[in-house]
Structure 1
Amino acid sequence: MKALIAAATLTLFIASTAIAGNWPGWRGPTSNGVAQGSGYPVSWNSSKNILWEVDFPGVSGSTPVIWGDDLFLTTTTGGKNRVICLNKNSGKEKWHVDFGTERAGKHKKGSGSSPSPAVDDDYLFTYFKSGDLACINRDGKILWEKNLQKIYGEDTLWWDLGTSPVLTNDLVVIACMQSDNSYLVAFDKATGKEVWKQTRNLNAPEEANQSYSTPVVVSRDGKEIIYVLGADHVTAHDAQTGKEIWRVGGLNPTQHKYFRSISSPVVSDGYLIAPYARGGSITGIKLGGTGDITKSNVAWTNEAKGEFSDVPTPAAINGRFYICADKGEVLCFDIKTGKKIWGGRLPRSRHKFSSSPILADGHIYVTREDGTTIVLDQGDQFKVESENPLEGFALATPIFSDGKIYLKMTDKLYCIGKK
């Protein structure tokens, strides 16, 4: 991994991850679904390799984050939004804090706490369906909080808010993409002061305007750039000002009314991969340029009816990206050409995949909604190595730290490690 980062001309933003084992946001330390380190278990069940498990109140779809020995997760309980800090080694609660007012989920997979937290060496940022955003220190003290919907207008999403906050060197950034009044907004981490707000109304038809995806922050040639997928476009923004640098359109050429987007973009090897069309297309965009770069920078587009991912976000490394489709197809592609290298279907189940794949120590980990995690080889062919069932309903993506896997169900958290 270190060699890859050193060799790449494009590196994903890592917020001072000086401590090995940090998992600062929902897609991991490099925002592309790749875990650092080695020694992660590839087989477990309820009586094997479970180091600890803890229940928590409420129903929550968010993915936890880790910084140092602290694991942070969000949920809702008693009409409030709750943030919980656990010791990642023992599972013991260090503190919890409640704030704001819970807004319950609409969808059977929804909740008031679908957005995942973001953390760095100084601050933890949590965001909820209610619009409540808070900055919390490592001791559980709320440093500042605000409600974005009270400030900028009500949530008009048809379903449950899912986008997570992302961090730049100095800012916390939230994307709000909905039927009207879509925007990106950035706040100073320390003070909560609004630094910039960028309108993002792109006139997609009806529900296609709506997006539940999370932006990606990338450092390119020493400059931080924010990439955003939604409303039939990918846009790139200057992280210091929010101003649009370039855009790619054409993701919805037939102007389908209901192409809302859930799966987020992934960046690797100088390309951005954009899943779209409810799992019907993936587009490879070469990074760089200004203005409308649709004709000049779209390297390839693959289309298939439902073969690709609608909900899970791809993972990418070493010139390849990996998709886990909602119904259990796992596919590997060349990131520069879009050519499929291999693909196969996981053991059949009536349950789907909402969690996103993680690449760790030569393996691909994909977690099904029934709590079963399937481990595949990351090599040159489709190869299932193990099926690992656990009790629970899984929407969150597993996170990896120091040889341990943390698998969150909607009401329970497991720590998995070699015994």
Structure 2
Amino acid sequence: MQRIGMVVTLASLIVVGVGTPSVFAENWPQWRGAANDGISDEKGLPTEWSETKNIAWKLKMPGMGASTPAIWGDSLFVTSIAPDLTLSLICVGTDGKERWTRELGKGSGKVARSDEGNEASPSPSTDGKAVYVFVGSGDLAAFDFEGKKLWAVNLQKMYGKFDIQFGMHSTPVLYENHLYLQLIHSNGAWVIALDKSSGKEVWKVKRESDGRAECEHSYASPVLWKRGDSAYLITHGNDYAIAHDLKDGHEIWRVGDLNLKSKYNPTLRFVASPLATSDLIIVPSAKNGPVVAVKPNAKGLVMRGSEHQQWRLDSGTPDVPSPVISKGLVYLARENGGLICLDAASGEQYYAERTHNARHRANPLVADGKIYLVARDGLTTVVKEGRSFEVLSKNQLKDQIAASPAVHNGRIYLRGYDYLYAISEGGK
């Protein structure tokens, strides 16, 4: 299920002089990486591994979780839910040793579809000074790197009880001095900005929609669009993707025709989040529905045929994994293991191929000319970037994985339901 979207203002790349000179020690401060786009600039990442090959270490987790690790320096942060339903934030060193665990709250035990995401699905984020973490119980807290609690609030107490079939899985966006959240469910639809230093509300706006039934439930995460000094927030769910001004949350544009009124699907809940790059925004929907490429300078209502629409596909959306763009190509990783490659400028399809016949919940990672696709059964398919489809390797771990991969200092980190894995060439 969903894990998170955020962008930080601190530098996220530092060159290291130890080990392989071509490898960058890249902080991974949030779900989908520093730019929230699923792209890593690191080189020399492993393309092959197993339970006995290229594993630097693996650490037993206290319980199930689907959150992507946030990584800064030598600290990793990940969430988990224990058998007694305690929701926790865990700090792990890059040496594979647990440093501390802090309780966040108590879960309800709700698990999506019995074995999917749970209340430990939203991902932590960090600005290098504090780590911010939200879980499905509504508990939101900030800790310093030593584990000291800086503040804590409960969003269900502040904004109403969550009424959502599979639980709240949305990850906040961390940007400059604020945390931005979307809470989209049947008991309310709010877009909220909180002060990151205190957790106090800066603004909130009601997110208007004519959606109904299960469409009121969004499992997607908000994302940030940024170009130079310009930025806005994009929320996703209840039949629309909507851009909001960061100062007060007012609406800039919304993408419609994602759930056609003429043949309305009352079960079209959104799980996959949009992808926002400086030049193009890719808006997914659900259940093999449309995909829309939006120009960042859009205004008002963006419907089929709008001048603010770069292109639109009537079908083929990923239902859970979010899109990624690299080197002028859009990759759509379908929930069934299918991979679609499109031209970013025109939407022209270059291929649609099946990688692995299993459920895929994690978002794709693109690094060093390769696409990493992680399946729920623990198998990662590595595909070569480009207009032609080529599988480079398939790598099996004996775990269930719904979390998106993270990258740091030549390693790929995978959060399984049972273990946290550090994977590197030679197991270094």
State the TM-score, normalized to the length of structure 1: 0.93
- What is the aligned counterpart of 2:56 among 34, 51, 55? 51
**Contact conserved, 2:12 with 2:34, CA < 8 A, in 1?**
no
1:123 maps to 130
The answer as to 2:198 corresponding to 1:191 is yes
Query: Which consecutive residues of structure 2, in runs of 5 or more, have no partner in the other structure?
Result: 1-5, 15-25
Match of 1:6 in 2: none
* Cα drift, residue 180 of structure 1: 3.9
Cα distance in 2 for residues equivalent to 1:83 and 1:94:
11
Query: Which amino acid in 2 is paired with 1:338?
Result: G
Q: Does 1:86 align with 2:97?
A: no
How far residue 372 of structure 1 moved from its aligned partner, in angstroms, is 0.7
For residues 72 and 343 of structure 1, the distance between their equivalents in structure 2, rounded to whole angstroms, comes to: 35
SS at match of 2:287: helix
Alignment pair present for 1:69 and 2:79: no
Counterpart check, 1:298 vs 2:306: no
SS in 2 for 1:277: coil
**One of 262, 265, 274 as aligned partner of 2:274:** 265
**Map of 2:11 onto structure 1:** 17
Matches within 5 A, 1:25-36: 25-36=30-41
Report the counterpart of residue 110 of structure 1 in structure 2. Answer: 117
Partners of 2:278 and 2:296 within 8 A in 1: no
Q: Distance in 2 between matches of 1:98 and 1:287?
A: 40
Instruction: Please state if 1:250 is matched with 2:257.
Output: yes
- 1:74-119 CA-to-partner distances (Å, cap 9, x unmatched) read 012233221100112x111111111322222232213121111111
Structure 1 counterpart of 2:42, one-letter code:
G
Amino acid of the structure 2 residue aligned with 1:226: L
The answer to whether the 8 Å contact 2:401/2:416 transfers is yes
Of the structure 1 ranges 372-381 and 281-290, higher mean CA displacement relative to structure 2 is found in 281-290
> Residues 334 and 268 (structure 1 numbering): CA distance in 2 closer, same or farther, change over 3 Å?
farther
Q: Does 1:400 align with 2:407?
A: yes
Structure 1 counterpart SS, 2:110: coil
Tell me, yes or no, if the aligned pair for 1:39 and 1:403 is still in contact at 8 Å.
yes
Residue 301 of structure 1 deviates from its aligned partner by 1.5
Query: Which residue number corresponds to residue 102 of structure 2?
Result: 97
Match status 1:414 vs 2:411: no
Moved more, 96-105 or 320-329: 96-105
**Structure 1, residues 346-388: CA drift from partner, whole Å, max 9, x if none?**
14x3x31111111011000001111011100002200000000
Structure 1, unaligned runs of 5 or more? 1-11
Q: Of 374, 377, 388, which residue of structure 1 is paired with 2:384?
A: 377
Q: Secondary structure at the match of 1:177?
A: strand
How far 1:269 sits from its partner (Å)?
5.0
Moved more, 207-216 or 290-299: 290-299
Show CA shifts across 1:252-274 (max 9, x none): 11321111000000022521111
Instruction: Give the conservation status (yes or no) of the 8 Å contact 1:269–1:319.
Output: no
| Conservation of the 8 A alpha-carbon contact between 2:119 and 2:169 | no
State whether structure 2 residue 341 is matched by structure 1 residue 332. Answer: yes
- In structure 2, the partner of 1:346 is 355
Distance 2:328 2:322 in 1: 17
Percent identity reads 33
8 Å contact kept, 1:269–1:318: no
Deviates more, 1:147-156 or 1:210-219: 210-219
In structure 1, the partner of 2:319 is 310
CA distance in 1, matches of 2:308, 2:334: 26
Asked whether the 8 Å contact 2:402–2:416 carries over to 1, the reply is: yes
Determine the C-alpha separation between the residues in 1 that align with 2:12 and 2:165: 40
Distance 2:49 2:317 in 1: 28
**Could you list the per-position Cα deviations for residues 111-158 of structure 1 after superposition, in whole angstroms to 9, with x for gaps in the alignment?**
121111111122211111100000111111111101000111000111
Counterpart-to-counterpart distance in 2, 1:91 and 1:327: 32
Offset at residue 312 of structure 1 (A):
0.9
* Aligned-residue RMSD, C-alpha: 1.5
Return 266-275 or 356-365, whichever deviates more.
Answer: 266-275
Quote the Cα distance in structure 1 between the aligned partners of 2:302 and 2:61: 47
Distance in structure 2 (CA, Å) of the matches to 1:256 and 1:65: 36
Task: Report the Cα offset of residue 221 of structure 1.
Answer: 4.2
Query: Is the 1:315–1:357 Cα contact (8 Å) retained in structure 2?
Result: yes
Equivalent of residue 233 in structure 1, options 193, 217, 240:
240
C-alpha distance in 1 between matches for 2:12 and 2:213: 44
Partner residue, 2:153: 146
Report the 3-state secondary structure (helix = DSSP H, G, I; strand = E; otherwise coil) of the residue aligned with 2:185: coil
CA contact (8 A) 2:122 2:169 kept: yes
Cα-to-partner distance string for 1:197-249 (whole Å, 9 max, x where unaligned): 11113121211122111111122341221111211111111122222112221
Preserved CA contact (<8 Å) 1:251 1:276:
yes
SS at match of 2:425: coil
Instruction: Give, in angstroms, the shift of residue 319 of structure 1.
Output: 2.1
What is aligned with 1:276? 285
Q: 1:239 to 1:192 in 2, by over 3 A?
A: same
Structure 2 partner of 1:3: none
Question: Counterparts of 1:281 and 1:177 in 2: how far apart (Å)?
Answer: 21
Looking at structure 2, the residues matched to 255 and 298 of structure 1 have their Cα atoms a distance apart, in angstroms, of 22
